[in-house]
Amino acid sequence: MSPAATCDVRVREIEPLAPGLKRFSFEPAHGGLFSTPPAGGHVMLTLRDGARVMKNAYSLVSPPAERARYDIIVRLVAQSRGGSAFLHHKVARGDVLEMAPPLSLFPVAATAKKHLLIGGGIGITPLLSHLPELKARGARYELHQLSVADEAAVFERLLAPFAAGAEIRVHGGGRAAFDMAGLLARQPLGTHLYVCGPRALMDAVSGTALALGWPKGKIHKESFGDTSGGLPFKAVLKRSGIEVEVGATQSLLEAMEAAGVAAPCLCRGGACGECRTPVIEGEVEHRDDFLSAEEKAAGTAIMTCVSRARGPRLVIDL
């Protein structure tokens, strides 16, 4: 899919949760309600810090029934690319930001007999959007949150609304004091596992589960997906005599449309074949499902809706 258009959102509240942890609450800048957010969904914020533009993905932590606001929790990361520092230090109540509508790549499984959720640090955020949905379904769930000792109380407080009658534990001693293998070994058949946190934790949890014989389809890891963008490049439309600069977060198709070119397209997701365009010069990074492996290897055609140049310049027959 090509990314949906962004909408303007206003910061309605900023709540410090702990040193370096803030909850941001957004509302539609032009009134009305947001769409029902997907359980486990995330949004992409466009952050403009002077001339610098950052696009950062954040899990939504507000429940599906909440349409007046979308909430995210942001940890201030010392070595970040700058997005978290910008949000923590430069964004104030009332500011307007651009937000892409939520995507769902970490949903709740429908056929699970039980849901086992494991979070590490700020990886708690998508689990906070799973919990209201699990509660609404009357589903059986168990949650383990790994934390540094200083932040355990914060996570206890965030999880408190879901704790009644459910097994929820915050492990303030981090991974060292957490019997991961024991936990995974004692789950009943039909349990689905969800993990979100540092890459090392996600790999350790899924690796342990696989070693214990968990089916791959029952292990779910948070993902913000492949970004649709890539390095910027120049597209030369030979027949039209036009040159188009394709930005890092734009598709070739979108860049051509922005330049007023009526390029062919239909599905905008690399499936239908409508936007197939002959390539005259330059290497293609194929991301579509339409061209065969042989056609991709030949490199003589590009699906402009999803694929890009693998280099600074691409000449196409359009």
Cβ proximity to other proteins: between 247 and 269 the closer is: 269
Segment 24 to 53, residues that bind other proteins, using CB under 8 A = 35-39, 41
How far is it, in rounded angstroms, from Cα 32 to Cα 59?
22
Q: Is 222 in the site for other proteins (CB under 8 A)?
A: no
Cβ proximity to other proteins: between 273 and 299 the closer is: 273
Residue carrying structure tokens 């970040």: 80
Q: Is 1 in the site for other proteins (CB under 8 A)?
A: yes
The minimum distance between CB 315 and other proteins, in angstroms, equals 27
How far is it, in rounded angstroms, from Cα 35 to Cα 40?
14
Q: State which of residues 12, 114, 137, 287 lies at the interface with other proteins (CB under 8 A).
A: 137
Beta bridge partners of 195: 118, 221
Q: State which of residues 88, 268, 286, 308 lies at the interface with other proteins (CB under 8 A).
A: 268
Segment 59 to 118, residues that bind other proteins, using CB under 8 A = 64-65, 101-104, 107-111
DSSP string, 159-223: HGGG-TTSEEEEETT-GGG--HHHHHHTPPTTEEEEEESSHHHHHHHHHHHHHTT--GGGEEE--
Q: For 72-115, where are the alpha helices, taking DSSP H only?
A: 83-90
The minimum distance between CB 191 and other proteins, in angstroms, equals 14
The minimum distance between CB 101 and other proteins, in angstroms, equals 5
Question: Which class for 240: exposed (0-12), middle (13-18), buried (19 or more C-beta within 10 A)?
Answer: middle
Cβ proximity to other proteins: between 49 and 295 the closer is: 295
- Residues found near other proteins in the complex (CB under 8 A): 1, 4, 35-39, 41, 64-65, 101-104, 107-111, 133, 136-137, 217, 266-273, 289-290
